[in-house]
A and B are shown apart, each in its own frame.
Chain A
Amino acid sequence: MIVAVASGKGGTGKTTVAASLVRAWDGPVQAVDLDVEEPNLHLFLHPEMEGGRRADMIVPLADQAKCNACRACAEICQFKAITVLGEYVVAFPEMCHGCGGCMAVCPTGAITEETRELGQVLWGWSGEARFLMGRLRVGEAMSPPLMREVVKHLDPERDAIIDAPPGTSCPPINAVRRADVIVLVSEPTPFGYHDLKLAREAFAPLGKPMGLVVNRAGLGDNQLYDYCRATGLPLLMEIPFDRRVAQAYSEGRVVIEACPEYAEAFGELVGRIRDLAVCERIEARRA
């Protein structure tokens, strides 16, 4: 089973929840940091890194001498990564999303492959848990291609806890699309409520079971809870607005290790996530 921990708003506690879930998990597990723009799960799980590799994407290299200025490449590219101006073919490899369309349609073979470095895929061990992360190259604008390289290294024999990037755009969608269950994390504030709504609406078309962890419970207002009741979004867990949780975070410690009294609640969270996945399978069988 793959579990993605996601949120519309940044700083709600995705990594806090993901790290404790990894420690509380009841079977072989791997921790996966797909927030490749600013990975931080390793700051809590302190993995011993074992290896890594550079990840590249294929981008176009255009040869003016072979170009007949037919514009086929310019017309197929949706991202303006290659165009023809007058007689000149101009490539902007940093804009390329790597589909290879320009190379496929070029009738004269004027476009060949070049690579653009996306960043690093790194792996290791955090105790019994396998650890996997991506680190985007500084200056690289697109994170989904690197995320796709990271998930190629998933171990199919282990459950996976994915720490997703925040928001509702391409990176978080890419992080949750392989998941069996999406765990949303938010806080009971107007901002937290607003962005939770956006996240749920963004992920709903994927048709995956979702549930909510309320972090900093006791802070703010009741809109999150009203929203859960109104929409049927299951409330999976509440983490109190507790100074000791914040302190554990600031020290790079996993909450259930720093505050063992939360271990039971996270154990129950694991069970509820498993239940969500099972219910989904039963409903799918009925339908």
Chain B
Amino acid sequence: MEKILVSCQGRTLDDPVDPRFGRAAYFLVVNPETMEFEVLDNTASRQMAQGAGIQAAEVAAGSGAKIVLSGFVGPKAFTALKAAGMRIGQGVDGLKVREAVERYQAGQVEITDRPTQSGHWT
């Protein structure tokens, strides 16, 4: 079983996915079989002037999850997550975390090879 890390605006499975990865409020690390989850606070990344995505990727890499689901993962976070060997699914914003995980399990979330948008500075 591979755990799934989802960017989340709150601390439960019924809170909405945070559309941002680097500056997400929380990360939920979900076991998709039991739907048990752990909450990671992303405040440290959010408060960074720059490098929030990279910091968040370090948090994600250390979480034990192998899959990241978010609305949008920026190019630097993407590079960092790939280096950590993680798989990335984007565009699940607008869903609850529970729904995003279910959709991934049903094979309906595309695992992308590249960021879907450019960064803020490029």
Q: Which of A74, A81, A86, A90 makes the CB contact (< 8 A) with B79?
A: A90
Check A141 against B121 for contact (C-beta < 8 Å): yes
- Stretch among B1-9, B23-31, B49-57 lining the A interface: B49-57
Give the B interface residue count (CB, 8 A). Answer: 17
Bound together, the chains give a CA A88 to CA B81 distance in angstroms of 11
Q: Which of B51, B84, B121, B122 makes the CB contact (< 8 A) with A86?
A: B84
Residue A139 CB within 8 A of the other chain: yes
Residue A85 CB within 8 A of the other chain: yes
Q: Which of B48, B51, B83, B122 makes the CB contact (< 8 A) with A85?
A: B83
A97 to chain B, nearest CB (A): 9
Residue A95 CB within 8 A of the other chain: yes
A79 to chain B, nearest CB (A): 6
Check A95 against B76 for contact (C-beta < 8 Å): yes
Residue B93 CB within 8 A of the other chain: no
1/0 per residue, CB under 8 A from B, across A51-78: the answer is 0000000000000000000000010000
Chain B residues whose CB sits within 8 angstroms of the CB of A139 once the complex forms = 121-122
Residue A241 CB within 8 A of the other chain: no
Residue B58 CB within 8 A of the other chain: yes
Check A85 against B61 for contact (C-beta < 8 Å): yes
Bound together, the chains give a CA A141 to CA B76 distance in angstroms of 15
Q: A81 — nearest CB in chain B belongs to which residue?
A: B51
A171 to chain B, nearest CB (A): 14
A95-B51, A139-B122, A141-B121 provided; 12 other pairs, C-beta below 8 A?
Answer: A79-B51, A81-B51, A83-B54, A85-B61, A85-B81, A85-B84, A86-B61, A86-B83, A88-B83, A88-B84, A92-B51, A92-B54
Q: B residues engaging A (CB < 8 A)?
A: 48, 50-51, 54-55, 57-58, 61, 76, 79-81, 83-85, 121-122
